[in-house]
Amino acid sequence: MRRYFHPETDDIRLPGVLFALSDATRIGIVVALSDGSERTAGDLGGDIAKSTMTHHLKILREAGVLRVRSEGTRCYNSLRLDDLEDRFPGLLKQVLSSAARDGYAMADTHR
């Protein structure tokens, strides 16, 4: 089983989170996972190349925004909602609110 690096909650840093959230595709991923669901890269990717989606998921994971859970040959991605709220209260709520207002979704990769 593949193991992925996930920073401890106390090691999640604001610059890394803000960088991870600075891309339209990554905001779309966060919006897609904001309902608390787990999704695979394929579920999230749509017409995005697999290597590109893997890159975006890695940036989000290493920043502490996502958690990846392996099950067999599949990897399931979910938001670290509680960890981000503990570390930066209200940040993710504000990002999601702004993203909803601006109409971000996974299809919005060219903003």
Domain boundaries, the chain: 9-102
If you search the block for the tokens 């709220």, which residue do you land on? 85
Per-residue pLDDT of the chain (111 residues; tens, 9 = 90+): 677 889 999 999 999 999 999 999 999 999 999 999 999 998 997 788 989 999 999 999 999 999 999 988 899 999 999 999 999 999 999 999 999 888 876 544 433
Q: State the amino acid at position 57 in one-letter form.
A: L
Residues 6+ apart with CB under 8 A from 62: 5, 7, 16
Domain 9-102 has CATH 1.10.10.10: yes
What pLDDT, on the 0 to 100 scale, is given for residue 33?
Answer: 95
If you search the block for the tokens 């991605």, which residue do you land on? 77
If one counts every other C-beta atom within 10 angstroms of the C-beta of residue 40, the result is: 15
